[in-house]
């Protein structure tokens, strides 16, 4: 079974940077699209970054130009580099893997807290 384990969250000052990691286990990393979501208290879960089967990244308008998603297939790991962080980026961030053969089959990480505050 696919399992996702996230790391890298924490407290950071506004304007700072943070890199989240998502380790993928269970086999078949190359046949999954990968995404990052976030959810703040009282808010809907929001897609913030997505990498499709052609490894083309896409981003929510709110993070475009500041966040970068990439993957290291040799390490079965996907990253989210977050720069120029703002208070409104504060949320629990979740890694998501989507099986390319059936986009309704997907797996979630446990979430990692990112807090942007002075």
Ranges of H-type helices in 54-93: none
Q: pLDDT at position 74, please?
A: 92
Q: What is the pLDDT of residues 55-108, one digit of tens each?
A: 899 999 999 999 999 999 999 999 999 999 999 999 999 999 999 899 899 999
Burial 34-72 (b: 16+ CB within 10 A, else e): bbbbbeeeeeeeeebbbbeeeeeeebeeebeeebebebe
Share the mean pLDDT of the chain.
Answer: 95
- pLDDT reading at 54 higher than 90: no
**E-only strand ranges, the chain:** 3-7, 10-12, 18-25, 32-39, 46-51, 57-59, 67-72, 77-82, 91-99, 106-108, 112-116
């Amino acid at each position: 079974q696919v399992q996702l384990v996230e790391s890298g969250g924490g407290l950071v000052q506004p304007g700072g940077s943070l890199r989240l990691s998502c380790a993928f286990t269970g086999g078949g990393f190359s046949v999954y699209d990968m995404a990052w979501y976030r959810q703040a208290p009282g808010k809907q879960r929001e897609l913030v970054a997505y990498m499709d089967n052609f490894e083309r990244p896409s981003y929510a308008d709110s993070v475009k130009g500041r966040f970068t998603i990439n993957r290291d297939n040799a390490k079965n790991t996907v990253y989210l580099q977050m720069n120029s962080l703002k208070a409104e980026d504060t949320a629990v961030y979740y890694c998501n893997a989507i099986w390319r053969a059936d986009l309704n089959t997907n797996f979630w990480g446990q979430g990692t807290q990112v807090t942007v505050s002075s």
